[in-house]
Amino acid sequence: MSILVVGGAGYIGSHMVKLLAGSGADVITLDNLSRGYRDAVKYGEFIQGDLGDPAVLDDVFINNQIEVVMHFAAFIEVGESVTYPARYYHNNFTNTQTLLDAMLRHDVGYFIFSSTAAIFGEPDYTPIDEKHRKLPINPYGHSKLMVEQLLSDYDKAYGLRSACLRYFNAAGADPDGDLGERHDPETHLIPLVLQAASGRREDIKVFGNDYPTDDGTCVRDYIHINDLCDAHLLALERIQKTDSSAQYNLGNGKGFSVKQVIDAAREVTGKDFKVTQDERRPGDPAVLVADAKLAKKELGWRPEYADLESIIETAWNWEINFLCKKSSDKEQG
Ligand code: UFG
């Protein structure tokens, strides 16, 4: 079976490519390298190209027997989406429709979609289950919810089967140390805390300390990248077996505050570093925790790295053994 991974050079996509290759699938990555890295694609065939270009997609589908598409090529910054909404609607929605339409032209019937907790907006209750109302509060969340709507309509009208996987906070790195998170600029909490621990960053700024949480900082549900990728494989099996589409919230069901993440990082790394209190970051809900019972029940999904320490440990390994070396190579010229 050939699987096309669109955005396979990015953080989540590159881990997915590794898992798929290890499971014996024939993997092809399509990525325009606008945010990903060629050297993160360590398995299968690599095609540099744009998913917004129907001619590129036609070529890929004509030249390969693709049965499944997994789509990771989205922009993910909430703040950026507020400043540049056109960029988000174009890449995350319009280009995804271009991809889906190409799949229909070439009779490719299964699609796995990276959705997000951001489709729910400010939660009415936590943990958030699949039935929670969907009311995004930023263009990023809207662009993803619009794709979910499109997928629901394409399922009914064209029989395209899909799984929408709503990630909470993807974190951690490949436990073998081959891959990890490499955003530029980095905005996510765990990699930034670890940059402070390794000395690549002067301090970690805590955005807000007056949220209605136990210690006043925001609470998030961190999920290890490998567990997230496992859920993709299980979701694919499910939609193929049941010949139906599905949606799942993916997280560990346990929330950690920004302060707890910082404390855990001190514990895991054995390093102390400077913590600076800063203003709230616009658009941050106080608490985002997943109710992932449905994924556990229907997919038999069992997260392996469910504790925060092992998530941080794998990310720390990546920080010191890859990112620090890269940045010192860069400094030396
Ligand atoms: N934070 C800090 N300091 C930092 C960076 C982050 O205090 O330097 C805080 C944030 O304010 C937030 C928490 O740490 O409270 C987690 O922030 P991240 O940026 O790591 O993650 P988000 O929860 O903002 O983002 C995640 C995904 C997004 C997705 C969003 C949905 O990474 O792609 O959830 O709400 F859009």
269 close to 330: Cβ distance less than 8 angstroms: no
With tokens 């744009």, the residue in question is 50
Q: Does residue 89 have its Cβ closer than 6 Å to ligand 1?
A: no
Domain ranges in the chain are 2-171+222-250, 189-220+253-292+306-332
| Phi, psi angle pair for 199, to nearest 5° | 90, 5
User: Which residue, by CA, sits nearest to atom 35 of ligand 1?
Assistant: 118
User: Which residue, by CA, sits nearest to atom 20 of ligand 1?
Assistant: 188
**CA-based R_g, the chain, Å:** 19
Q: How far, in Å, is the centroid of ligand 1 from the Cα of 15?
A: 21
**Of 11, 35, 75, 78, which is best to mutate to test ligand 1, by the most ligand atoms within 8 angstroms of its C-beta?**
78
Q: Does residue 142 have its Cβ closer than 6 Å to ligand 1?
A: no
Q: Which pLDDT does position 262 carry in this prediction?
A: 98
Cβ-Cβ contacts under 8 Å for 306 (sequence gap 6 or more): 224, 227, 252, 254
Cβ-Cβ contacts under 8 Å for 229 (sequence gap 6 or more): 12, 15, 16, 19
User: Which residue, by CA, sits nearest to atom 18 of ligand 1?
Assistant: 188
Burial (CB count within 10 angstroms: exposed 0-12, middle 13-18, buried 19+), residue 63: exposed
> Which band of pLDDT confidence, cut at 50, 70 and 90, is reported for residue 163?
very high
Q: Which pLDDT does position 328 carry in this prediction?
A: 83
> C-alpha angle 72/152/77, rounded to 5°?
35
What is the bridge-based pairing of β-strands 222-224 and 169-171?
parallel
Q: How far apart are CA 332 and CA 102, in angstroms?
A: 45
Q: Does residue 34 have its Cβ closer than 6 Å to ligand 1?
A: no
Domain 2-171+222-250 identical in fold to domain 189-220+253-292+306-332: no
Residue 1, pLDDT above cutoff 80: no
Q: Does residue 12 have its Cβ closer than 6 Å to ligand 1?
A: no
Fold classified for 189-220+253-292+306-332: UDP-galactose 4-epimerase; domain 1 (3.90.25)
Beta-bridge partners for 114: 165
Q: How far, in Å, is the centroid of ligand 1 from the Cα of 118?
A: 11
Residue 247, pLDDT above cutoff 90: yes
Q: pLDDT tens digit string along 68-97?
A: 999 999 999 998 999 999 999 999 999 999
Q: pLDDT tens digit string along 185-219?
A: 999 999 999 999 999 999 999 999 999 999 999 99
User: Which residue, by CA, sits nearest to atom 36 of ligand 1?
Assistant: 118
Element (H, E) at 95: helix 95-105
- The CATH number that domain 2-171+222-250 falls under is 3.40.50.720
Out of 140, 167, 211, 248, the active site residue is: 140
Task: Ligand 1, residue 170: give the atom nearest the CA.
Answer: 32
144 close to 119: Cβ distance less than 8 angstroms: yes
Q: Which pLDDT does position 126 carry in this prediction?
A: 95
Instruction: Name the CA dihedral angle for 143, 147, 149, 150, rounded to a multiple of 10 degrees.
Output: 130
Q: pLDDT tens digit string along 114-140?
A: 999 999 999 999 999 999 999 999 999
Q: Does residue 192 have its Cβ closer than 6 Å to ligand 1?
A: yes
Q: Of 240, 293, 301, 298, give the one whose Cα is nearest residue 130.
A: 293
Q: How far, in Å, is the centroid of ligand 1 from the Cα of 218?
A: 9
Whether this prediction's pTM lies above 0.85 is answered by yes
User: Which residue, by CA, sits nearest to atom 6 of ligand 1?
Assistant: 189
Element (H, E) at 18: helix 11-22
Element (H, E) at 330: helix 324-331
Residue 222 annotated to the active site = no
Largest CA distance in the chain: 57
